[in-house]
């Protein structure tokens, strides 16, 4: 999946100067300007004369979130199809890989939910107002209902309804079948699959490009929503965001400890060797916020610095990386719980189960590019009836937390590679 990288560099040359300022810096500038404007507008005591202007400040954030919601499902569909069409996964290794990916992602989400339930970052400060019509509908645990709901009424319905679970079912079914057809055709010397593969590749590029346009508007959205919040409610709403950052960092650290324990128990690699050898990949992930851009470095350090076999390195870092975003899964689940706490509408056990399921699928569908987790997060929120406009608040801290969860996404891929490599180091013959 080198597309996002090439698109970024291609577009970078044709961008106007203000878009060439790094996104992080743009967001910081937007934050400073927004806080200043919020203070000028009253910082919690706005004058009624400015009421309409202040309300309208939320429009860019609303539009950006609407666009992200609309893009999330096509992104998941084409990303999964693209991965199946362009990568080759051998049978047994494929099954082991699937089990490892699922257990690690589930562990990440459970750690995230545990930390969010124990530390309750959303109750450290409050947004004071609950917008009307945002009550979370009561839901009970109904495993059979979940299975029934996973099968869509019509093929295109999940795209229209933004239903991520049904969409993954469709994407996986078509992905597996298209892959099998491609392999059969290659064996028969035919090339009929090629146009489909090309179309999927082009569509994937197109969705990522549109996503880049929307992401370019994020600083404007941050500016509007922060200025509006400061003007209307002062600084109280941001208190709990600090607590949220701390809670996410605690959860990511626990997940990293989980990886190191698994690597120690399940592979020949020592945790120290893993950390030191992988440091280039972690630093690149942190500085680029993109596990896809980091992918070649991850692959390289796994072989040259940690010393894994090429097959394990490629399965974990090249194939697994497309599906495996544990940091994103942990973050999405924590965000849903955090916002529900902020709103004082606590999610029941059944609803948290739905959060676990949708976060697994949403993280599978998240592309390895900056801020992709925010896009698929809309689906997690919708699944338990949380108002998605609160994601705009999270955008203000996403430039930092995205870096942290991307580093963990990469660490997750490397852990899978180490576990696939097994308990015996490669011999000189294998090198
Ligand atoms: N930036 C992350 C990655 O590249 C995805 C996300 O936004 O969670 O892995």
Global pTM reads 0.73
Of 375, 321, 342, the C-alpha closest to 86 is: 321
pLDDT confidence of residue 6: 42
pLDDT confidence of residue 303: 86
Model confidence over 177-205: pLDDT tens digits?
Answer: 998 899 999 999 988 889 999 999 899 88
**Does the pLDDT of residue 242 top 70, yes or no?**
yes
Domains of the chain: 9-421 (1.10.3860)
Q: Bin 42: left if φ > 0, else alpha if -120 < ψ < 50, else beta.
A: left
Q: What is the CA radius of gyration of the chain?
A: 22
Percent of the chain with pLDDT over 90: 25
CB atoms within 10 A of CB 429: 5
Q: Residues near 205 by Cβ (< 8 Å), separated by ≥ 6?
A: 3, 7
Q: Residues near 238 by Cβ (< 8 Å), separated by ≥ 6?
A: 125, 229, 396
Per the model's pLDDT, the better-predicted residue between 164 and 108 turns out to be 108
**Does the pLDDT of residue 66 top 90, yes or no?**
no
Task: Give the tokens for residue 3.
Answer: 């597309």
Question: What average pLDDT score do residues 168-183 get?
Answer: 87
Cα 285 from Cα 414, distance rounded (Å): 12
CA distances from 156 to 77, 159, 223 (A): 11, 5, 36
Q: Which of 367, 407, 408 to mutate to test the pocket of ligand 1 (most atoms within 8 A of CB)?
A: 367
Q: Which range has highest mean pLDDT (86-100, 148-162, 402-416)?
A: 402-416
pLDDT confidence of residue 131: 44
The atom number, within ligand 1, closest to the CA of 363 reads 8
pLDDT confidence of residue 126: 58
Model confidence over 248-268: pLDDT tens digits?
Answer: 999 999 999 999 999 999 999
pLDDT band at 388 (very low <50, low <70, confident <90, very high): confident
Question: What average pLDDT score do residues 293-308 get?
Answer: 85
Question: What average pLDDT score do residues 402-426 get?
Answer: 91
Rounded to the nearest angstrom, the distance between the alpha carbon of 186 and the centre of ligand 1 is 34
Q: Is 325 in the pocket of ligand 1 (CB under 6 A)?
A: yes
**Does the pLDDT of residue 378 top 80, yes or no?**
yes
Q: Is 368 in the pocket of ligand 1 (CB under 6 A)?
A: yes
Q: What is the torsion angle, in degrees rounded to the nearest 10, for the CA atoms of residue 159, residue 161, residue 164 and residue 170?
A: -40
CA distances from 132 to 144, 386, 387 (A): 32, 12, 10
Helix (H, G, I), strand (E, B) or coil at 253: helix
**Does the pLDDT of residue 416 top 90, yes or no?**
yes
The atom number, within ligand 1, closest to the CA of 366 reads 5
Rounded to the nearest angstrom, the distance between the alpha carbon of 326 and the centre of ligand 1 is 10
Q: Which range has highest mean pLDDT (152-166, 313-327, 349-363)?
A: 349-363
Q: Among 73-87, 188-202, 335-349, 375-389, whose mean pLDDT is lowest?
A: 73-87
Per the model's pLDDT, the better-predicted residue between 218 and 177 turns out to be 177
Q: Is 372 in the pocket of ligand 1 (CB under 6 A)?
A: yes
């Amino acid at each position: 999946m080198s597309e996002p990288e090439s698109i970024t560099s291609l577009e970078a040359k044709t961008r106007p100067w203000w878009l060439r300022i790094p996104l992080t810096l743009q967001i910081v500038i937007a934050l400073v300007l927004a806080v200043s404007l919020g203070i000028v507008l009253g910082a919690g005591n706005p004058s009624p004369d400015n009421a309409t202007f202040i309300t309208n400040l939320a429009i860019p954030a609303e539009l950006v979130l609407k666009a992200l919601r609309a893009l999330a499902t096509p992104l998941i569909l084409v990303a999964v199809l693209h991965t199946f069409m362009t990568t080759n996964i051998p049978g047994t290794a494929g099954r082991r890989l699937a089990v490892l990916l699922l257990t690690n992602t589930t562990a990440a989400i459970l750690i995230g939910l545990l930390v969010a339930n124990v530390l309750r970052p959303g109750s450290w400060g409050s947004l004071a107002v609950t917008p009307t019509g945002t009550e979370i509908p009561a839901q009970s645990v109904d495993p059979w209902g979940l299975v029934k709901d996973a099968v869509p009424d019509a093929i295109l319905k999940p795209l229209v309804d933004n239903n991520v679970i049904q969409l993954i079912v469709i994407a996986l079914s078509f992905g597996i079948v298209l892959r099998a057809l491609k392999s059969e055709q290659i064996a028969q010397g035919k090339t009929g699959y090629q146009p489909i593969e090309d179309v999927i590749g082009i569509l994937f590029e197109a969705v990522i490009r549109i996503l880049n346009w929307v992401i370019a508007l994020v600083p404007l959205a941050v500016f509007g929503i922060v200025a509006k919040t400061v003007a209307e409610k002062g600084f109280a709403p941001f208190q709990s965001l600090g607590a949220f950052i701390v809670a996410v960092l605690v959860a990511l650290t626990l997940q990293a400890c989980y990886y190191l324990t698994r690597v120690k128990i399940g592979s020949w690699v020592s945790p120290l060797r893993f950390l030191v050898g992988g440091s280039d990949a972690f630093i690149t992930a942190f500085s680029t916020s993109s596990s896809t851009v980091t992918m070649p470095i991850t692959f390289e350090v796994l072989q040259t610095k940690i010393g894994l076999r090429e097959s394990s390195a490629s399965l974990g870092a090249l194939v697994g990386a497309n599906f495996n975003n544990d940091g994103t899964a942990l973050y999405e689940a924590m965000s849903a719980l955090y916002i529900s706490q902020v709103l004082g509408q606590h999610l029941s056990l059944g609803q948290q189960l739905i959060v676990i399921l949708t976060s697994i699928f949403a993280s599978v569908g998240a592309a390895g590019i900056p801020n992709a987790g925010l896009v698929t997060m809309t689906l997690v929120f919708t699944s338990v009836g949380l108002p998605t406009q609160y994601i705009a608040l999270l955008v203000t801290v996403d430039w930092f937390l995205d870096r942290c969860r991307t580093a963990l996404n990469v660490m997750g891929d490397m852990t899978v590679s180490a576990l696939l490599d097994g308990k015996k180091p490669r011999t000189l013959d294998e090198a």
